[in-house]
Structure 1
Amino acid sequence: MTNSTLSDYLVFKRTFLNDPNRPKPGGEPLTASVSAEGRAGIRRVKIRDHQIISDSGYKGGGSDLGPIPAELMLAGLGGCLSHGWVMQSALANIDLRFLQIDVKTVSAPDGSKAPVGLEYTVRISSDASPAKIRELFSIVEEKSFVFNLLINPVQISGTTEEITEKDEAA
């Protein structure tokens, strides 16, 4: 088995991004389906061909069998920013030796669920100058889907749909 590195992946990513015939992202709906299940009330998150278990921690009356939804949102932000750093580094021909995004938030002190803010730290080792890192930082934030969703919230609408026992079995 070969040990591959982030630098090795950047070579692949650079080739992919520079291919004029590559499929262009965008315009497709992003969907997730979440169902509450079983005695523990876990939430099974289904996204494309992937599944993640989400649960409440013990303080929230859960069994702590998976991350809470807010932690998944933090992971979504960190994952999107990480993807942006990889893409922009590949395009700029910068070698990343290490990349980690740490994201955190704190609930309001009054016990409400409202966060008082989000912050993240990019931990990076590369061959880029500090000025180039600052430039990439700005570009990544500008192009990040999740970052922009959080700083420029979109309207959310919801509906309910009553189903029968027959529908439950399907």
Structure 2
Amino acid sequence: MPTLSDYLAFKAQRMAALREKLAAPDAAPAPLRAVARVASGSGVRPVSIREFTIVTDSAPALAGYNLGPTAPELLLASLASCLAHTYLIVAANRGAQFETLEVEVTAQIDFRGILEVTPDAPIAPSGLAYIARVSGDVSDDELHQIRTEVEHLCPVFRALVEPVPVSGRVERTAS
């Protein structure tokens, strides 16, 4: 069975090929798209991303059915996944030998803010923190350097620590 170290060697090869493609004069950013459609009778929000569907829902206290994670939980999942992937990218670039890798992201959410119960309660999740758990033949100094690179290169981490503007609009559709 292939190990994580084997995968990192494979990843390094794939990234080298992709870097070559991205160096072409006609290379462009990759578009991203997610669409949430509210199910009329339940309020459940399936989200379509490429050929995947993720069911999102609320807890029963907010009239949900607990059929899937909430959007704030998906934010944490997105950060955890992106950090883990970026750790793999940096490790592959450096030839680091990870045997295992796990990223845990934690936060809290104060529904008093969202439901306007307490005016000064935060609305956004707060106290975001992560722990990357790594085993393998890598020194503490190298792990520190890898962490610094990861936090510089991880797209979701960067979007959270240096928020990007979000534009929005409402379009009326036929019923």
The interval holding the TM-score normalised by the smaller chain is 0.7 to 0.9
Superposed CA RMSD: 1.9
CA contact (8 A) 1:103 1:119 kept: yes
1:16, 1:22 within 8 Å by CA — same for their partners in 2?
Answer: no
Among 62, 66, 78, the residue aligned to 1:76: 78
Residue 119 of structure 2 is matched in structure 1 by none
Gaps of 5+ in 1: 166-170
User: What SS class does the counterpart of residue 118 from structure 1 fall into?
Assistant: strand
Q: Contact 1:56/1:67 (CA < 8 Å) preserved in 2?
A: yes
Cα distance in 2 between the residues matched to 1:34 and 1:69: 11
The Cα shift of 1:16 comes to 1.3
1:115 aligns with one of 125, 128, 147 = 125
Q: Is the 8 Å Cα contact of residues 83 and 103 (structure 2) preserved in structure 1?
A: yes
Question: Deviation per CA, 1:80-113, whole angstroms, max 9, x where unpaired?
Answer: 1111100111111111111010001112484543
Inter-CA distance 105–6: structure 2 relative to 1 (3 Å threshold): same
> Number of paired residues?
163
Residue in structure 2 matched with residue 135 of structure 1 by the alignment = 145
2:56 maps to a residue whose letter is S
Could you tell me the percent identity over the aligned residues?
Answer: 33
Which amino acid is the alignment partner of residue 82 of structure 1?
A
Q: Contact 1:97–1:125 (CA<8 Å) still a contact in 2?
A: yes
Q: Is the 2:72–2:125 contact (alpha carbons within 8 Å) kept by the matching residues of 1?
A: no
Relative distance call for 1:158 and 1:71 in structure 2 (3 A) is: same
Structure 2 CA distance for partners of 1:101 and 1:58, relative to 1, 3 Å: same
More moved, 17-26 vs 134-143: 17-26
> What's 1:162 paired with?
172
TM-score, normalised relative to structure 1: 0.88
Q: Tell me if structure 2 keeps the 8 A contact 1:56–1:62.
A: yes
Q: Which runs of no fewer than 5 residues in structure 2 stay unpaired?
A: 115-122
TM-score by length of 2: 0.85
Q: How does 1:26-41 map to 2 (within 5 A)?
A: 27-41=29-43
State whether residues 101 and 123 of structure 1, in contact with CA within 8 Å, keep that contact through their aligned partners in structure 2.
yes
SS in 1 for 2:38: strand
Q: Residue 162 and residue 61 in structure 1: after superposition, are their counterparts in 2 closer, same or farther (change >3 A)?
A: same
